[in-house]
Structure 1
Amino acid sequence: MPEPAAASSLTRHPSFVLFWCARTFTNGAYMMQGVAVGWQIYELTNDPFDLGLVGLAQFVPLVGFSLIIGQVADLFDRRLVVASCQLSKAVAALALAIGTARGALSRDAMLAILFVSGTARAFEIPTIHALLPGIVPARLLPRAIAASASAQQTAVICGPSLGGLLYMLSPTGVYATCTIVFIAASVLISLIHIAPRTEERKPISLETLFAGFRYIRSRPVLLGAISLDLFAVLLGGVTALLPIYARDILETGPWALGVLRSAPAVGALATSIVLARHAIGGAGHLMFAAVGMFGLASLAFGLSTSLVVSFLALMVYGASDAISVIIRQSLVQMRTPYEMLGRVLAVNSMFTGSSGSLGEFRAGAVAAALGAVPSALIGGFGTIAVMLIWMWAFPQLRRVDKLASDAEAGN
């Protein structure tokens, strides 16, 4: 790992700055695309269930390719993998732009394109996280993870709002802009310098394919953190409901959908900035408290009929989620050997990333059957129940104090 003596600031690492910008670009474009796709499909079919299918189309690659993703991240140059994923997402966005301009996009065609984009993102997420320990010194890693999360939230704030405004001007323009931004992110990633990897790279076998699963299962702290996030987001996610709330409950337009999509990131960004500057103490208790607050925020949003109240509830929702994500990512990256980080992060990504996509499907399906408000309320109560059960089932996670490696934590 690189360990420059004087480098106490993340901004003194040029590769981290490039990494931060690339994450901001790619996530911003993905969020812009998400707003456009959600509104376009809902206008096309007027069926909440189809909003759930959008999440499902992006969930399938995360699970279907999870074993291969980890191997690719550990066997090949991680920069090349991430850059290739950006180009694949650019091609998918271009297909959406051309199809929209010609008026030729059906629901099934959009879902097929989203599957391609979701596959690229499935390979990208664990691989780009696995880059980080090779870019900054180990002592700066928790702060780098928090700062990286701030890049995500900056993108989520700007992306949906810009996506909603651009969609009002030109739906085709949104997808064309995303195409350009994905290409720019690919270029930035290719310019990053990482620490050389000297470890032996084992050929693919059944042992290496399932190494990430075995490693997580053998460590209750990691298993508890990952599974807690999985079920909390699966039940408490409300992203798929935002087009319904914006149009039918709050009676607004695409601009409000963009604002609502940005609201969780406003809270998350503020939280990430604070955590990037300060060490986290009492990490286990803080993670459980954050999940409980996440559930309460889902309940508040579900009951809201005001744009302002909905925005504030989603801010708290995003801030709580950011705390949980940063603690989980820090635990995983600091307690996993660098040579198998790709495989462990692929498993982590499969569970936590798919929980968001599958959570969108759950929310959309329940909304189609019972309505948007019951869907949000059921999710909120379910999240709080999960938090209480996991506090009992994983006492090791509850007792975690400082974010440190297994050796430093005494495990």
Structure 2
Amino acid sequence: MIPTQEKRDPFTSVKIPAYRNLLAGRFLFIVGLRMLGTLVGWWIYELTNDPLAIGLIGLSEVIPAVSLALYAGHVIDQSEKRGLLLRGVVLYFLCACILLFLSSPYVTGIISNSYIALMVYGIIFCTGIIRSFTGPVFGVMMAAIVPKPVLQNAITWNQGVWLSASLTGHAVGGLLIAQIGIEHTLLVVCCLIFVSYFLLYTLNALPSLNEPGEKKTWDSVKEGLSFVFKSKEVLGALSLDLFAVLFGGAVAMIPVYARDILQVGAIGFGWLNAATDIGAIIIVIMLTIYPLQKQQGRKLFFAVAAFGTCIIIFALSKLFWLSFAALLVGGMVDAISVVIRGTILQLKTPDHMRGRVLSVNSMFINSSNELGQFESGVAAKIFGVIPSVIFGGSMTLLVVIITWFKAPSLRKMEY
């Protein structure tokens, strides 16, 4: 039993050595991946000068990520978690090395921009396959390492580390692109992923809680899906975030805003990319010290509605500082929704099916970022960049209104 005063200590979970190592390894890993995402968006737009091409990046990753998510959840629950995670990190490293080769003067001198873009899409497709396995494993390992009474504190720390890494990756990625170019920035990405492997290697093995062959693959998958669809609070929270992120994917158009509308170049692009994460970190620090005590479900709705409003302001802004502020506040309210949803998911999921449920979560939430990126690219192609972003923010507000009336149990939920 964890004493009450220890549960209230904002540093309770990070006093666990294994959890600190997991956070450190994940921090460097996410920094590398966020730098890679920032770089690929800028790189593809440089190669094609087409907003739709940015959207196709998301589609390239989301197809394998969604297609394999349910099977990946079964594999995670049946596998030794540490080994599965390390294999995923190695494969990410190899993908980054291939992108580094594609950016070299040797390749750019003999292959046209359109063919390089196609090969980049191919590598991103491969990272989608890898992510379907590695993404949920981090959450499963966290729940296995940290005692349940302090799991809410660990979730908030985990989100803070993820956001800090995302902020660092976005901002530093933009700065490095401007200062040392795409090729050398990719070299930094490879080094970060390489170092993260050795931090994660220090963790102990975490064997499966299920007997090998205990259930057939399809039966195992159906069990995870059944749990999600029967838990109305979990399903409501996932659905709300899915559609909000799907239609609120304005960040996909940041390269266009930075270069053509606000005209702030690669450095401004990096800061706009980082704005949502800066806001999110501010809120996560506050939630770590002062966790939400009541009416979490109602606050989730208000946070997503505020996020949609910020997207509309960003769409209409022609001033860099106003665009930055809109994304900053958007990141703050988005962090509130992410922490609430993550806490609901972890606290309500049984240990033996955590991999399957978190994989369903990755289908709903993580992949909605890429689908949102694709939706933004298509809408920008059809309606123009600014109208498409306004449309996305407006649809986010509509989703909140519909879910408010359709999911009363989520609206009234507290934990």
What TM-score, normalized by structure 2, do the two folds share?
A: 0.93
Select the residue among 170, 176, 182 that pairs with 2:193.
182
1:182 CA drift (Å): 1.1
Q: Which amino acid aligns with 1:397?
A: L
Q: Which amino acid aligns with 1:72?
A: V
Any conservation in 2 of the 1:78–1:127 contact (CA below 8 Å)? Answer: yes
Any conservation in 2 of the 1:290–1:321 contact (CA below 8 Å)? Answer: yes
Counterpart secondary structure, 1:251: coil
Note if 1:85 corresponds to 2:88.
Answer: yes
CA distance 1:199–1:111, change in 2 (3 Å): closer
Question: Would you identify which runs of 4 or more consecutive aligned residues in structure 1 move more than 6 Å?
Answer: 2-7
1:199 CA drift (Å): 4.9
Any conservation in 2 of the 1:284–1:398 contact (CA below 8 Å)? Answer: yes
Any conservation in 1 of the 2:79–2:208 contact (CA below 8 Å)? Answer: no
Note if 1:279 corresponds to 2:291.
Answer: yes
Q: Which amino acid aligns with 1:79?
A: R
Note if 1:109 corresponds to 2:113.
Answer: no
1:139 CA drift (Å): 1.2
The Cα RMSD (Å) is 1.8
- Give 1:63-82 correspondences, 5 Å limit: 63-82=66-85
Matched with 1:408 is: none
Select the residue among 279, 303, 318 that pairs with 1:305.
318
Matched with 2:252 is: 240
Q: Which amino acid aligns with 1:148?
A: N
Q: Which whole-Å deviations, capped at 9, do the CAs of 1:273-303 have from their partners, x for residues lacking one?
A: 1112223221101100000001001011101
Matched with 2:98 is: 95
User: d(CA) in 1 for partners of 2:289 and 2:219?
Assistant: 40
User: d(CA) in 2 for partners of 1:138 and 1:153?
Assistant: 23
User: d(CA) in 2 for partners of 1:200 and 1:109?
Assistant: 41
1:398 CA drift (Å): 0.6
Note if 1:400 corresponds to 2:413.
Answer: yes
Any conservation in 2 of the 1:226–1:328 contact (CA below 8 Å)? Answer: yes
CA distance 1:33–1:198, change in 2 (3 Å): closer
Matched with 2:21 is: 18
Q: Which whole-Å deviations, capped at 9, do the CAs of 1:215-236 have from their partners, x for residues lacking one?
A: 0111111110001110000001
Q: Which amino acid aligns with 2:15?
A: R
Any conservation in 1 of the 2:79–2:207 contact (CA below 8 Å)? Answer: no
Matched with 2:346 is: 333
Matched with 2:143 is: 133
1:195 CA drift (Å): 6.6
Bigger shift: 8-17 or 226-235?
A: 8-17
CA distance 1:199–1:92, change in 2 (3 Å): closer
Any conservation in 1 of the 2:76–2:355 contact (CA below 8 Å)? Answer: yes
Count of residues paired in the alignment: 401
What TM-score, normalized by structure 1, do the two folds share?
A: 0.94
Matched with 1:162 is: 172
1:371 CA drift (Å): 1.2
User: d(CA) in 1 for partners of 2:322 and 2:238?
Assistant: 30
1:142 CA drift (Å): 0.9
Matched with 1:256 is: 268
Matched with 2:393 is: 380
Q: Which whole-Å deviations, capped at 9, do the CAs of 1:260-280 have from their partners, x for residues lacking one?
A: 110000011111111122232
User: d(CA) in 2 for partners of 1:78 and 1:392?
Assistant: 40
Counterpart secondary structure, 2:263: coil
